[in-house]
Amino acid sequence: MTSSAPFSSPAAQANLEALAHRAIALVAPGKRIIIGIAGSPGAGKTTIARQVADLITAASNTAGAAPAAVYLPMDGYHLANATLDRLGSRHRKGAIDTFDGWGFLSLMKRVRSEIGHPVYAPGFDRSVDEGIAGEIAVEAGTPIVIVEGNYLLVDEEPWRGLRALFSESWFCETSDAVRLRRLVDRHEKHGRTRDAAYDWAVNVDGANARIIEASRVRADLLVSGIDGSFREVG
């Protein structure tokens, strides 16, 4: 990773370590906590979630006492492309109604309460643009699950039911210009032309971001998608 990459500087790594310790401090014996990280497309929430989960697990492996964590993205609850084709929504995949929100809420309830046996969740493969059933295992006794997704804090059904299941809610904030650059690069990487990537980032991702950004007021913590620095909401 180059020095210009997000979260690569020593200061950024220190911020992510602080977030990991913040999550660890919320754990109580015999309980499982869920940290929900929301944010607009391209904000950096996936990188934060992955790295914080890895740092928690590394602490557990080296110290023997700190809890381990599982990273769980909401993207596995994208509706299948065949379903989106049937609904006429494939051209706006990623919009709030192109996810199985009720299914995701049900999963979060299971993840929070069913700690005595594995709970399996779908992953998402960007190379084929489809979910993969049962790819992620939350093993029995895992104390921390780091969940990330666009709509985790949206105040409408069924999404509003998620917040009560999270021990803390974090919102990843990044400027529109940085997010746009990241999104165009991402869409090009996955096969779109430069013009098509820009169009999708502005007209599809951009429309979704307006809904997502309004939900930041429901977060406990605002986290930078550039360097992981954070501040309390309110």
Structural domain spans, the chain: 10-142+151-232
Q: What is the pTM of this model?
A: 0.92
Using one digit for the tens of pLDDT, what is the confidence trace for 130-185?
Answer: 999 999 999 999 999 999 999 999 999 999 999 999 999 999 999 999 999 999 99
pLDDT on residue 3? 38
Give me 50's structure tokens: 């992955």
Is 2's pLDDT higher than 60? no
pLDDT on residue 7? 83
pLDDT on residue 5? 62
Q: Which helix (H) or strand (E) holds 11?
A: helix 10-25
Using one digit for the tens of pLDDT, what is the confidence trace for 47-100?
Answer: 999 999 999 998 876 555 445 899 999 999 999 999 999 999 999 999 999 999
CA-based nearest residue to 108, from 148, 155, 60: 148
Q: Are 4 and 181 in contact (CB under 8 A)?
A: no
- Paired with 25 in beta bridges are none
On the question of a cis peptide bond just before residue 158, with omega within 30 degrees of 0, the verdict is yes
Using one digit for the tens of pLDDT, what is the confidence trace for 200-231?
Answer: 999 999 999 999 999 999 999 999 999 999 99
Buried/exposed 49-71: b ≥16 CB within 10 Å, e otherwise: bebbbebbbebbeeeeebbbbbb
Placement of tokens 């990843």 in the chain? 172
Q: For domain 10-142+151-232, say whether CATH 1.10.10.60 is its number.
A: no
